[in-house]
Chain A
């Protein structure tokens, strides 16, 4: 596993993380998180609110984004900040791919700022305005 050290540079790219998300994983996330909003679990309900069917939790998409950052950082504890916009829904059966690029390094603070996004296999930009601050290993 790569471990960013202080020689991390602006322009460095995170290894992309692709994950196929099916309804079983969405169900598992609902159970593990306690978020049982029916738009994630009940296709009939989801259609009544104008969705094509169930959608993944935005926080599941964000959790996969966090995993991409955590893998690069070497530990979840190094993720100091994470934010994103839930722009498009991820549908069960699609693969989400998370990418990121270092946009700033603060040697004094020992942190790097990473710009992030997540795109679905349909080409939809699922997560936009993604940003993380990572504590670099000393």
Chain B
């Protein structure tokens, strides 16, 4: 299980492609076949695809941290997009363990997220509050 000694660990997922096809598939999965906005318009929560999920995959790969996908409950999420993400962007994503807190026997992990585009601009920052439901032995 994660503990406060893991604060500061950083996980990166480089070269995440914001591909037009994946954006279109994501937008259709959310909104149906109707094209609400111009093609290539990136749904804000596509940040899950280019930032949160690929960095979480690196988090899961850290066996010392001991977090796995099926043991996660997503409690809160915030995102900001200082510069809009565009289809075709290639972004480097990073997640950092901001805090690990034990509350009434439950472990809460806060991850700080950041994604930078090919021009070095920050296209997304975020914060994920996760409840870890692992076995405690």
Contacts and interface: CB of A to CB of B under 8 A. Distances in A.
Contact of B53 (A35, A58, A80): A35
Q: How large is the interface on B (under 10, 10 to 19, 20 to 34, 35 or more residues)?
A: 20 to 34
- Which secondary structure dominates where chain A touches chain B? helix
Interface in B27-47: 28-31, 36-38, 41-45
Nearest to B23: A32
A60 B30 contact: yes
A102 B74 CA distance: 26
B109 to A, nearest CB: 15
Interface string A26-68: 0011011111111100000100010000000011101110110
A129 to B, nearest CB: 7
Interface residues of A, number: 38
A124 to B, nearest CB: 16
Interface string B74-85: 111111111010
B30 A64 contact: yes
A29 B30 CA distance: 7
A84 B79 CA distance: 9
Contacts of B48: 33, 35, 59
A40 to B, nearest CB: 10
B36 A70 contact: yes
Given A32-B22, A32-B29, A37-B69, A66 B76 contact: no
Interface of A: 25, 28-29, 31-39, 45, 49, 58-60, 62-64, 66-67, 69-71, 75-77, 79-86, 129, 133
Given A67-B30, A81-B79, A85-B76, 7 more contacts: A28-B28, A59-B77, A70-B37, A70-B44, A75-B41, A79-B81, A80-B82
20 contacts: A29-B29, A33-B26, A37-B70, A39-B70, A45-B70, A59-B48, A59-B74, A62-B77, A63-B43, A63-B45, A64-B30, A70-B36, A70-B44, A76-B84, A77-B41, A79-B81, A81-B79, A83-B76, A83-B77, A86-B76
